[in-house]
Copies of this chain bind each other. A is one copy, B any other.
Amino acid sequence: MSDTQFVMPVDVHNNLVEAAYRKRGYTDDEAKQASRFCELAAWHGIKTHNALKALHLDELFGSQVKPQGCVPGATIDKRDTKFAASEQWNGNFKLGQAVAFEAMDTCMKLADKYGVGQVSVDNAFHYLWGGGYVIDAANKGYIAYTNCTSTLAEVVPFGGKFPTLGTNPHSWAFPTTDAIGFPICIDWATSTVAMGRVQQFKREGKTLPPGSAVDANGKETTDPNQVKALLPFGAHKGYGLSLINELYGGLIGGSLPTLRGKPATKPAGEKTVSNFYFQVIHPDAMNCGGYAKGRTQSDNLKAVIDDILGHGNESCLLPGQIEARSAAASARHNGLLFTAKELDEFKHVADEAGISFDTSSFAAV
């Protein structure tokens, strides 16, 4: 019963989300980009970054917060640059979803011309789910990548005691839709678990997996009640991957990691901001023209993937496959799937936005 989900038509969802964003002062275009992103998240079954989470985040850290929340109606300043395949932006704390979609669009146009294009963003505000932007670009035929510095430093460097790194995610997606029906998407934080997972394990009285976290003395612990900070996944290897985002952030113009997201207590003159980095590669720009047996590029990619998932590995999942299954379910039901509890929360959103919201016509599945 509690697993029952209800089908919300996309236009109902998007009208509601847009109204909520407009009500908070965002422009029509920002509201559209926000609803486009929330649709993408819900379509792929991403419960942690759907409209409800996005609006909640905006409430806690965004347009409703001074100083230095997200700034509705902010304009991106694009720096003059001599580098033809690159753009360098000051995001001016514009809504992260709007900045990220525009950056990916820009990268795709640059990749069309140069084979590869990149956009770096300073003064960025949380884009929620990097996987969404790269999946969107991969569905359009590109290899897409993004990383960002997470708002809070919650992760301890390998061999250290004190959290000075963000959970710093990386997101890659590949144009494998023709080959296998969906884009392969590799998308995760560089901590073993998220802080939200620690809270969940605490509530449920469970033990954390090894290599997840440290206590107040910087010693590893599997007791969620003792956790003071997180550990990178894969020891020194995940540490290196987390560090990459900090180095990108430092090069772009970001703040010291331990000051990030803490404007109230920052030393004078320091910044407290996150950064985004986006990159797109055109697959034709990697084509060396020599596929075996006269295969096309896509056929060769499919043959490689089939080989990896053959030989007894048929039950393995590809990264992005779970999201692809959710997307298929959304397509099958012709709408976005939400639980009754989520619909209740949407009702609050609708009330805040001052629009009517009738769930009685939503089919249960």
Contacts and interface: CB of A to CB of B under 8 A. Distances in A.
A301 interface: yes
Interface string A92-131: 0000000000000000000001111110111100000000
Report the copy number of this chain in the oligomer.
2
Contacts of A89: 288
Nearest to A292: B271
A236 interface: yes
Interface string A54-88: 00000000000000000000000001010111101
Interface stretch (A10-18, A41-49, A277-285): A277-285
Interface in A201-252: 218, 233-234, 236-241, 243-244, 246-252
A314 to B, nearest CB: 9
Given A83-B284, A233-B237, A304 B246 contact: yes
B297 A256 contact: no
Nearest to A311: B162
A311 B229 CA distance: 13
A304 B116 contact: no
Interface residues of A, number: 96
Contact of A289 (B114, B253, B292): B253
Given A84-B84, A234-B233, A287 B253 contact: yes
Nearest to A210: B210
A315 B159 contact: yes
A254 interface: yes
B85 A116 contact: yes
Contact of A304 (B81, B174, B186, B250): B250
Contact of A188 (B240, B244, B258, B319): B240
A326 interface: no
Nearest to A294: B269
Interface in A157-178: 157-162, 164-165, 172, 174, 176
A286 B160 contact: no
Nearest to A113: B84
A303 to B, nearest CB: 6
A151 to B, nearest CB: 15
A316 interface: yes
B311 A292 contact: no
A305 to B, nearest CB: 7
A162 to B, nearest CB: 4
B308 A241 contact: no
Contacts of A284: 83
Contacts of A310: 164, 258
Nearest to A308: B164
Given A157-B309, A158-B316, A164-B313, 13 more contacts: A81-B285, A83-B114, A122-B289, A161-B312, A162-B312, A186-B240, A233-B237, A234-B238, A237-B238, A250-B304, A253-B300, A269-B293, A271-B290
Sorted nearest first, the 3 A-B pairs with minimum C-beta distance are: A83-B115, A86-B115, A234-B234
5 contacts: A83-B285, A164-B308, A174-B251, A233-B234, A271-B292
